[in-house]
Amino acid sequence: MSLKLYELVGTDAARPFSPYCWRTRMALAHKGLSAQSLPWRFTEKSAIAPHGSEKVPVLLHHDRPVVDSWTIATYLEDNFPDRPSLFGGEGGRAMARMVNAFGDIVIVGGIFPLIVADIPNNLAEADAAYFRKSREARFGGKSLEQVMAGRDSGVVAFRKSLEVMRQTLKKQPYLSGSTPNYADYIVFGGFQWARVVSPFRLLEADDPIYAWREKLLDAFDGMARTSPGHEV
């Protein structure tokens, strides 16, 4: 196969969970492309180092590496121009940059403390130890459990932080308008990450964002919904 994708997994090689890898998974599906999945774990740095990266996703196209989810999306857009567009034109590509920052900061950054101590449950021992040590350092030495202890109130603030997205979805079905594109996949990647690794309930059922997530879980023949995860 001409496309291969290194994807973050834990004990279950068929359970990819990285929010960034899910952005790429959805982008590939949108383009009607299939890639061979190359399961990758936190401690397998040496497997991707030859491709010039310490992190996934790493896409190999005819064995040429493309690194970083944003770079991969623009690469797919430029190299498969006859397939459905990921951005809907140059204006959309430029504005998707801000959606990408929203996805990184508000979505991934906002969800992280709400699910962080659930993540090691999905990892083999060596990966769990690596994850705990590296992430606890990021939180100034707090244990993952301490970080997550306030999540019942933290999730209320998280939901509030989604207001910009919520107001948008009251005006149109997707962030990208009447049909989804990469802007939606950026944000959805974070929700799918949470769904795979944690049973914690992020959204209330009457939230327009909940309905939007449902539609993306169903997209591409239910690709995200049928991937192993928790009920959300």
Q: Which residues bind to a second copy, rule: CB under 8 A?
A: 85, 87-102, 104-106, 163-165, 167-168, 171-172, 174-178, 181, 183
Question: Which of left, alpha, beta for 62 (phi over 0: left; psi -120 to 50: alpha)?
Answer: left
Residue 110 beta carbon to a second copy: minimum distance, rounded to whole angstroms = 11
CB 48 within 8 A of CB 18: no
Rounded CA separation 157/137 (Å):
24
Question: Least distance in Å: CB of 165 to a second copy?
Answer: 7
Cβ atoms of 227 and 143 within 8 Å: the answer is no
Closer to a second copy by CB, 176 or 192: give it: 176
Q: How far is CA 138 from CA 107, 135, 142, 164, in A?
A: 18, 5, 9, 28
Least spacing, CB of residue 121 vs a second copy, in Å: 30
CA-nearest of 11, 29, 2 to 189 is 29
Least distance from C-beta 232 to a second copy, angstroms?
22
Residue placing its CB nearer to a second copy in the complex, 70 or 220: 70
Q: What is the DSSP letter of 116?
A: G
Nearer to a second copy, 17 or 87 (CB): 87
Closer to a second copy at the Cβ: 165 or 217?
Answer: 165
Based on CB atoms, which residue is closest to a second copy, 119 or 175? Answer: 175
Q: What's the angle, vertex CA 112, arms to CA 26 and CA 150, rounded to 5?
A: 145
Q: Give me 171's structure tokens.
A: 């005006």
| Shortest separation between residue 82's beta carbon and a second copy, angstroms | 17
> Nearer Cβ to a second copy, position 6 or 182?
182
Q: How far is the CB of 154 from a second copy (least distance, A)?
A: 17
How far is 182 from 171, CA to CA, in rounded Å?
Answer: 18
